[in-house]
Chain A
Amino acid sequence: MSAISAKPGGLRVSVDLNRCQGYAQCCYAAPEQFALHGHEALFYDPAPSAEAWGAVERARVACPVQAIRLECPTADRDAEG
């Protein structure tokens, strides 16, 4: 086998931008990790540092259209909903 494990090492974020409607709640909850360019084009940090977990989790929960997906290998899965 050339590679056995391929788990990302830390926090990983992806946003379904088909779903995103630019409410910008993530930008308030985690301003270091999410930002709008122009009126509603969302840019975000796909691999934030572990210290940002709380803010990014708040952003995920705050999203009115639930477009943010977040996985943290070391976090309690119950906390991720």
Chain B
Amino acid sequence: MPKADRAVIVGASLAGLSAAHALRDVGYGGRIILIGDEHEPPYDRPPLSKQVLRGLYSADTSLPQRADLDATFRLGVGALGLDTLAHRIYLSDGTQIVYDRLLIATGTRARPWPNGAEAASPNVYTLRGHADAEHLARGLAGKPRRVLIIGGGFIGCEIASCCRDLGLDVTLAVRGALPLAHALGSVTAAFMRDVIRDRGVDLRLETEVARFQADADSRVVAAILRNGQRIEADCVVAALGALRNTEWLAGAGLAVSPKGVRVDTHCRVLTATRAVVPDVFAAGDIAHWPSAIYGNRHLAVEHWGNAVAQAETAARNMVAGEAGLIPYDHLPDFWSQQFGLNIKLVGLPTGADQFAVVQGSLRDRRFIGVYGAQGRTVAAVSVDSARWLPAYRAAVAEATPFPPIVGALDQADIRPQPLAQVVS
């Protein structure tokens, strides 16, 4: 491969940096150019909603970079358009860049509060990037009398946990019947509901915020719920999930949807008619990929582990040539730290119809739970029991009959129970 060869990575976050490292690991000697719309070098996001909001340690979470990475960064520059025929990217500073091979890793952004005027209030926050975290941390340091968090996903719950650690009163408004229900299923979600309430959070379920009331300075002073109730709050966090950054790909003829950019099993980007686009790959939150483990279902996840692993496979395939392509598959996994608990999940509980605690107990707040769908093991959750998880991870990867691993000496009675379908 000639030294003049140029690999361009659009998106300078975890997936983009991981791909750059992987390109060097496989001996790629061409130029690597990372383009990122934020002004900072690649940084780690998971600590933002945990230790950074609490003010623990350094707020600088920039990721380790190997000394011999030899990559060029163009930061504070967004991509505006892509011409795959000309191998050209149009950038927000008016310049263009030509690639020999391209990785799309533009990830996601926080879904904003839908009312733009309200979202612009100085005490209405979202959390996705480093600047968001520092902004919100300053807001929390101002000792608001009550923080209102809208959204019962992991980010919302982690922020609520930080607020309690900071001694702040907090209301968590969740649209569904349980927090975290989509990700964890009804039994674990009900367990978390009790944990969250025990830790002093005013958890409001089946609650939707209709609008805010603001003072003369446009600062929110209260939220009005759909049922007419009023919650006084002087700090509001909209934790409504993420939107994929695909806008710059409009007009490029790619298979793009709200779930991201469709790729094949080799992380190669596909056109709207499902043809492989030469020399264009995607990885991380932006990629909508077929999972062999889950029957070639297309997955779109927002997980740290997927960003790293998929970027590595994509990078290898970027330089492999047709004969050397390797397939990507990955068992989804993630962790969350909240209310003093370490929660880890492997697999996808979506569509599971059974659940069983197989180690520990809900009462002790330390357990492993497994999820079954049509008699097969499809996911496992760990609460403060991480050392048991690898065995169950293997059972999930192999889709062993549910429940897996019965009769071990350290297990209590396993009593599978039906899993209710809950909309969160």
Interface residues of A (CB under 8 A from B): 1-8, 12-14, 16-18, 20-22, 33, 37-48, 69-71, 73, 77
Contacts and interface: CB of A to CB of B under 8 A. Distances in A.
Contacts of B58: 45-48
Contacts, number: 117
Nearest 10 interchain pairs by C-beta: A38-B340, A71-B64, A6-B41, A6-B73, A45-B57, A41-B337, A47-B58, A3-B75, A47-B60, A12-B64
B73 A40 contact: no
Contact of B337 (A37, A69, A73, A77): A37
Interface stretch (B43-51, B249-257, B371-379): B43-51
10 contacts: A3-B75, A4-B72, A6-B42, A6-B75, A8-B41, A39-B342, A46-B61, A69-B64, A71-B66, A73-B65
Which applies to chain A's interface (DSSP): helix, strand, loop or mixed? Answer: loop
B119 to A, nearest CB: 28
B16 to A, nearest CB: 11
B326 interface: no
A43 B304 CA distance: 16
B14 to A, nearest CB: 9
A40 B335 CA distance: 12
Interface of B: 12, 34, 39-42, 44, 46-47, 50-51, 56-58, 60-68, 72-77, 93, 304-305, 308, 333-335, 337, 340-342, 344, 366, 384, 386-387, 389
Contact of B62 (A3, A21, A47, A69): A47
Contacts of A6: 12, 34, 40-42, 73, 75
B41 A46 contact: no
A11 to B, nearest CB: 9
A70 B67 CA distance: 11
Contacts of A73: 65, 67
Nearest to A35: B56
A44 B56 CA distance: 8
B61 A47 contact: yes
Nearest to B334: A18
A21 B387 contact: yes
